[in-house]
Amino acid sequence: MFSRRSPPFANRPIAACSATAVVCCGLWLDAPLQAAEPVVKGPESVADWNRAGQVFIEAGKRLSPNNARAKNVILFVGDGMGISTVTAARILEGQLAGRPGEENRLSFENMPYAALSKTYSWDQQTSDSAPTMTAMATGHKAREGMLSVDHLAPRGECSAEVNRAHALKTILEYAAESGKSTGIVTTARLTHATPAALYAHIAYRDWEADSNQPELSHGAPCRGAEGSVKDIARQLIEVSPAVRRSLKVAMGGGRMNFMPASHDGVNAADPEHPKGKGRRADGRDLTAEWLTTRGAGAAYVWNRQQFDALDTTRATHVLGLFEPSHMQYEADRAKDGAGEPSLSEMTAKSLQMLQKDRKGYFLHVEAGRIDHAHHAGNAKRALLETIEFARAVRYAMDHTDPKDTLIIVTADHSHTFTIAGYPSRGNDILGLVREVPATDGAPLAPSKDANGLPYTTLGYANGPGHRALGRPDLTRVDTAGLDFLQEAAVPLGSETHAGEDVAIYARGPKAHLVRGSMEQNWIFHVMRDAFGF
């Protein structure tokens, strides 16, 4: 493969020769010329590269495997946070702080151990979130769209007995049975695939409320029928006695799946959006049932004010449902009517709840909306979600002890998101590609495609960013605008997941077991080994 980039000294023989002797080149110069200053410069000195390398080596030499049993395990999942997303978010975070950006490190990139995770599922080359989280939660690769049941479970199986027969115990359930506290935090619906895989066992991820279940499945009665599998929201409330005691905090979106469509024949209005209502066809208010089944210390919150007022020293079990569906994107959160906490704020509150337990805890934190913004072909929102995710990880790193707390940060799958062209150091990651000029001193200018049009660094292989009328002239377009959709090669209504590996970062007890190329389900085995179950 040949690079399209100019060789380092192309178009500048004069400057190259002047550094030695004019006569050796046999050229026509009257006098040697001064080399122009590079237009693009990183902040590093020559010595900095060596110094940073030595720091890294010394830090590595001081590493020693921590084989202690983990008191606590925190599993962070950036939904759809492929490696290109990590890279671009790292650059954007650095650039938002006024630096070139490439040298920046997201919080979790400072963890001592890392590996690659192979994300295929039992029946998918490129997976959805259900089998990928099932792999991490249970240690088993599973089928498309299924949550914590094995790959032999029939698709769309509505029988509770059959689902139960194929159920796989999750790391949260292991932790609960060992007497630890547990927690789940997400910016998606609490009933969405990733968080649900920790507490629900169901052969169809979309059955989040009973109204999502069909009247018939495989010819047998399903919704509301005796012996049918419980919908996911109901499974969260009606968990095993051990999980009921253990699950001290569950926060995210998805309020409508816990609220009835009507109450005593009257539409049950959503507290934040009075024209909205619940989705439960069975008439049950599961938010109220959380309070009645979790004891006197139970609390239910649905807005910012209630969240802020939560007394974590007194509350024993907290359910937070801050939106009818998914929570707001971080970029839009400030505009929310009722107000809602950020992912890092929910993480902080959850740790305050869980750290009361001397036996330890398991906490799962998901940045669920990286995935949604990518599906929409909207890179800036996806990257801002990722930066907030890194902020949540930083809080956990700062408020836990690596001697007793294993923290794992990973993604469930990637997206078709790319960082392309030869943008110069510090080039706006959301902007048009501008290469290092072939001649030092020449001005930076947008790189052009074969038709003479500029292009952005970020793009997608498919999705809504495809321009049906051909490539647009982006010269005067604000490609760093929040709502800009990056270009996509293949026209699809929604951008898709991608099948390449994702990264795993780890610190704490047994973090050294995160190494090399791993099957995604081995993450569960690392966590279980760390806990000593």
- At 150, which amino acid appears? D
Binding of residue 273 to another protein (CB under 8 A):
yes
**Choices 32-40, 358-366, 418-426, 485-493 (CB under 8 A): range interacting with another protein:** 485-493
- Residues ≥6 apart with Cβ < 8 Å to 334: none
Return the residue of 245, 466, 512, 515 that touches another protein, per CB under 8 A: 466
Q: Taking a C-beta distance cutoff of 8 angstroms, is the pair 499, 118 a contact?
A: no
Binding of residue 487 to another protein (CB under 8 A):
yes
What tokens does 119 get?
A: 């994300």
Return the residue of 93, 210, 340, 495 that touches another protein, per CB under 8 A: 495
Return the residue of 13, 482, 490, 517 that touches another protein, per CB under 8 A: 482
Q: From CA 249, how far away is CA 257, in angstroms rounded? A: 18
Q: From CA 209, how far away is CA 249, in angstroms rounded? A: 20
* Comparison of 294 and 497: residue with beta carbon closer to another protein: 497
Binding of residue 435 to another protein (CB under 8 A):
no
CA 206 to chain centre: 20
**Choices 89-97, 152-160, 234-242, 323-331 (CB under 8 A): range interacting with another protein:** 323-331
Return the residue of 179, 224, 493, 532 that touches another protein, per CB under 8 A: 493
Q: From CA 476, how far away is CA 89, in angstroms rounded? A: 24
Q: Is the dihedral of CA 105, 107, 111, 115 positive or negative?
A: negative
Number of H helices, E strands in the chain: 16, 19
In the block, which residue shows the tokens 């998101």? 417
Return the residue of 102, 109, 206, 519 that touches another protein, per CB under 8 A: 206
* Comparison of 328 and 521: residue with beta carbon closer to another protein: 328
Binding of residue 469 to another protein (CB under 8 A):
yes
Which residues within the stretch 368-397 sit at the binding site for another protein (CB under 8 A)?
369, 371-378, 381
Q: How many residues does the chain have?
A: 533
* Comparison of 194 and 405: residue with beta carbon closer to another protein: 194
**Choices 18-26, 167-175, 332-340, 499-507 (CB under 8 A): range interacting with another protein:** 332-340
Q: Identify which of 382, 502, 408, 492 has the alpha carbon closest to the alpha carbon of residue 120.
A: 502
Longest dimension (CA), the chain: 98
* Comparison of 143 and 381: residue with beta carbon closer to another protein: 381
Binding of residue 141 to another protein (CB under 8 A):
no
Binding of residue 284 to another protein (CB under 8 A):
no
* Comparison of 33 and 453: residue with beta carbon closer to another protein: 453
- At 109, which amino acid appears? E
Give, as one character, the DSSP assignment of residue 201: -
The values of phi and psi at residue 434, to 5°, are: -130, 110
Binding of residue 275 to another protein (CB under 8 A):
yes
**Choices 311-319, 422-430, 436-444, 488-496 (CB under 8 A): range interacting with another protein:** 488-496
Binding of residue 328 to another protein (CB under 8 A):
yes
Which residues within the stretch 238-257 sit at the binding site for another protein (CB under 8 A)?
256
Binding of residue 97 to another protein (CB under 8 A):
no
Binding of residue 143 to another protein (CB under 8 A):
no
Q: From CA 422, how far away is CA 436, in angstroms rounded? A: 8
Q: From CA 470, how far away is CA 451, in angstroms rounded? A: 11
Q: Taking a C-beta distance cutoff of 8 angstroms, is the pair 387, 492 a contact?
A: no
Q: Identify which of 74, 77, 188, 198 has the alpha carbon closest to the alpha carbon of residue 148.
A: 198
* Comparison of 44 and 483: residue with beta carbon closer to another protein: 483
**Choices 1-9, 108-116, 367-375, 519-527 (CB under 8 A): range interacting with another protein:** 367-375
Q: Is the dihedral of CA 330, 335, 337, 339 positive or negative?
A: positive
Q: From CA 506, how far away is CA 409, in angstroms rounded? A: 6
Binding of residue 337 to another protein (CB under 8 A):
yes
With CB under 8 A as the rule, give the number of residues binding another protein.
Answer: 51
* Comparison of 180 and 381: residue with beta carbon closer to another protein: 381
Is 129 part of the annotated catalytic residue set?
A: yes
3 state SS for 68-111: CCCCEEEEEEECCCCHHHHHHHHHHHHHHCCCCCCCCCCHHHHC
For 255, half-sphere exposure in the C-beta direction (CA atoms, 13 angstrom radius) is: 20
Return the residue of 40, 83, 96, 261 that touches another protein, per CB under 8 A: 261
Binding of residue 497 to another protein (CB under 8 A):
yes
Q: Identify which of 206, 246, 251 has the alpha carbon closest to the alpha carbon of residue 229.
A: 206
Return the residue of 47, 296, 450, 468 that touches another protein, per CB under 8 A: 468
Query: Choosing from 129, 211, 217, 414, which is the catalytic residue?
Result: 129
* Comparison of 13 and 493: residue with beta carbon closer to another protein: 493
* Comparison of 171 and 188: residue with beta carbon closer to another protein: 188
Angle at 211 (CA atoms; ends 208, 215), nearest 5 degrees:
115
Binding of residue 85 to another protein (CB under 8 A):
no
Binding of residue 263 to another protein (CB under 8 A):
no
What tokens does 148 get?
A: 């914590």
| Active site residue ranges | 129
- Residues making contact with another protein (CB under 8 A): 128-129, 189, 193, 206, 211-212, 256, 261, 273, 275, 279, 281, 325-326, 328-329, 332, 335, 337, 369, 371-378, 381, 464-469, 472-474, 477, 482-485, 487, 491, 493-497
